[in-house]
């Protein structure tokens, strides 16, 4: 009789299908690294796991297993079993896993069977899948071409990636990292752990292989670190050796792009619109959630500016900080946000352009194409259409 559980050969299909997963490890393990699509419904909580682990070290496996059954019995067992049953009822394709595919996931599987539900587990558990995903990144880096979109800060590279995703294979590293990549690039949601970032990157690559197995994958030019997470060496080196396309936009357009991304479409812009919607215009509502979030965002920008103050230089740091404080005051007192363009333009001119263009010069970047964002989009679509005609594939 064939093994109904999930082996290495099944993993690509599991992730390509966005299969729901129950991770029965303790929360402390889940936080350190989990699999995309997983929910943590542990069979042992952190304290119970520690207690069982100590017993295992002192008295051996049999005593540890006995203690585990004693801890998870009666009402405690029923409550945890009910959590699994409720999740599976909503997600009938659910697969189970623990760290090595051992006692915890097998006991969970058996208790579910006793309740009339039969779900597979991942043989080898998280440890095996983690290695599979690391190998996936390495394999992709060796066998699949990349096409890297570069250009000065504010050129709209991320937007371009999104705009062409309906016709070209693309990978948004910043979305996976939940960070825009600069000192000002933190998002409202916290970044993943390093392991979670790598796991999600690998799954994204698996899906690209599933949906479009030919042609270069288009990515934005990134440094190795994106916020606190970093790209695996194999993938980063692959990016650095890939073909380059340069998006060339004038400074005014780049400032407007940054203003839209960091001011207009954030809590600052939302708070401005909310206050304008009231007739007569509403005063600054310091108890409103959106307004408080806007002020917190100004605080975050001031902190980010402080973080680069040494590289920026004392005089220029003070100049931009004064402009940022003026923009905040203008927002608080007059509900105006256009003054933010002043400090944004100076930050780009004084700091980001010299930093980015200097890096490109040191790397001796020689783009295969250079043009405005629209021209680059047209070039990429034409290139993809030509590739599709040659290979007979469609995206």
Positions annotated as catalytic residues are 98
Strand partners, 371: 247
CB 292 within 8 A of CB 268: no
Interatomic CA distance for residues 288 and 51, integer angstroms? 46
Neighbours of 1 (CB within 10 A): 3
What does the buried/exposed string (b/e) look like for 334-352 if buried means 16 or more CB atoms within 10 Å of the residue's CB?
A: ebebebbbbbbbbbbebbb
CB 270 within 8 A of CB 290: yes
How far is C-alpha 318 from the chain's CA centre?
Answer: 33
Interatomic CA distance for residues 351 and 298, integer angstroms? 19
CB 121 within 8 A of CB 43: no
Strand 95-97 and strand 369-371: pairing? unpaired
Closest by CA to 184, choosing from 287, 298, 105, is 298
Interatomic CA distance for residues 36 and 95, integer angstroms? 12
- List, in order, residues 6 or more apart from 280 with CB less than 8 Å away: none
Interatomic CA distance for residues 40 and 104, integer angstroms? 13
Interatomic CA distance for residues 363 and 222, integer angstroms? 13
Within the chain, where are the H helices?
Answer: 11-16, 27-32, 46-59, 61-71, 74-90, 103-114, 125-143, 157-163, 173-177, 194-211, 233-240, 251-259, 267-276, 289-307, 309-312, 314-334, 340-347, 353-362, 373-391
Give the containing element (helix H, strand E) for 170.
strand 170-171
Interatomic CA distance for residues 179 and 226, integer angstroms? 6
Q: Which residue matches tokens 């948004």?
A: 172
């Amino acid at each position: 009789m064939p093994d109904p559980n999930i082996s290495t050969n099944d993993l690509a299909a599991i992730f390509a299908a966005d299969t729901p997963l129950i991770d029965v490890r303790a929360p402390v393990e889940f936080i350190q690294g989990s699999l995309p699509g997983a929910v943590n419904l542990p069979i042992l909580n952190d304290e119970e796991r520690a207690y069982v682990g100590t017993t295992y070290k002192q008295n051996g496996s049999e005593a540890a297993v006995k203690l585990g059954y004693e801890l998870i019995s009666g009402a405690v067992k029923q409550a945890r079993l009910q959590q699994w049953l409720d999740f599976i009822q909503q997600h009938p394709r659910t697969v189970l896993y623990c760290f090595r595919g051992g006692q915890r996931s097998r006991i969970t599987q058996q208790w579910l069977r006793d309740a009339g539900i039969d779900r597979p587990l991942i043989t080898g558990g998280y440890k095996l899948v983690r290695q599979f995903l690391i190998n996936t990144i390495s394999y992709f880096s060796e066998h699949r071409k990349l096409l890297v979109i570069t250009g000065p800060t504010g050129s709209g590279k991320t937007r371009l990636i999104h705009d062409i995703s309906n016709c070209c294979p693309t990978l948004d590293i910043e979305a996976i990292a939940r960070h825009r990549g600069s000192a000002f690039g933190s998002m409202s949601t916290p970044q993943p752990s390093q392991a979670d970032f790598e796991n999600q990157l690998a799954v994204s690559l698996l899906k690209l292989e599933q949906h479009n197995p030919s042609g270069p994958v288009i990515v934005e030019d990134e440094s190795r670190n994106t916020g606190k997470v970093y790209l695996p060496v194999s993938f980063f080196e692959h990016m650095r050796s890939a073909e380059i396309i340069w998006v060339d936009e004038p400074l005014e357009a780049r400032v407007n792009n940054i203003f839209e991304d960091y001011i207009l479409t954030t809590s600052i812009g939302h708070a401005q619109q909310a206050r304008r919607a009231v007739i007569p215009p509403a005063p600054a509502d310091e108890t409103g959630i959106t307004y408080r979030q806007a002020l917190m965002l100004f605080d975050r920008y001031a902190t980010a500016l402080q973080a680069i103050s040494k590289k920026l230089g004392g005089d220029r740091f003070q100049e931009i900080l004064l402009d940022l404080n003026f923009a905040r005051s203008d927002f608080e007192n007059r509900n105006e946000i256009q003054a933010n363009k002043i400090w944004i333009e100076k930050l780009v001119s004084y700091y980001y352009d010299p930093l980015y263009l200097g890096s490109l010069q040191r790397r001796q970047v020689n783009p295969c194409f250079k043009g405005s964002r629209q021209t680059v989009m047209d070039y990429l679509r034409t290139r993809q259409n030509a590739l599709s005609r040659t290979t007979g594939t469609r995206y």
